[in-house]
Chain A
Amino acid sequence: MKAYLTRRYWLAASHRLHSEKLSAEQNLATYGKCNNPHGHGHNYAVEVTVGGQIDPASGMICDLGELDCLVTREVLERFDHQNLNCLPEFQQAVPTSENLCQAIYRILEPRLLAAHLEKVRLEETSMNSFEYSGGDQSRRCLGPQPAP
Chain B
Amino acid sequence: MIYLTRKCEFSASHYYHNPELSAEENCRLYGKCANLNGHGHNYTLEVTVRGEVDPTTGFVIDLKDLKELMNREVVETLDHRHLNKEIAEFAQRNPTTENLAVYIWQRLASKLNVAKLHRVRVYESHDLFVDFLGEA
Contacts and interface: CB of A to CB of B under 8 A. Distances in A.
Interface of A: 1-9, 49, 54, 57-61, 63-65
Contacts, number: 59
B98 A8 contact: no
Interface residues of B, number: 24
B5 interface: no
A57 to B, nearest CB: 6
B23 to A, nearest CB: 16
B46 to A, nearest CB: 12
B128 A2 contact: no
Nearest to A60: B96
Contact of B98 (A3, A7, A57, A65): A3
Contacts of B102: 1, 3, 54
B130 A5 contact: yes
B101 A8 contact: no
B98 A60 contact: yes
A1 B93 contact: no
B9 interface: no
A41 to B, nearest CB: 21
Contact of B29 (A1, A54, A58): A58
Interface in B15-54: 16, 18, 20, 29, 31
A37 to B, nearest CB: 35
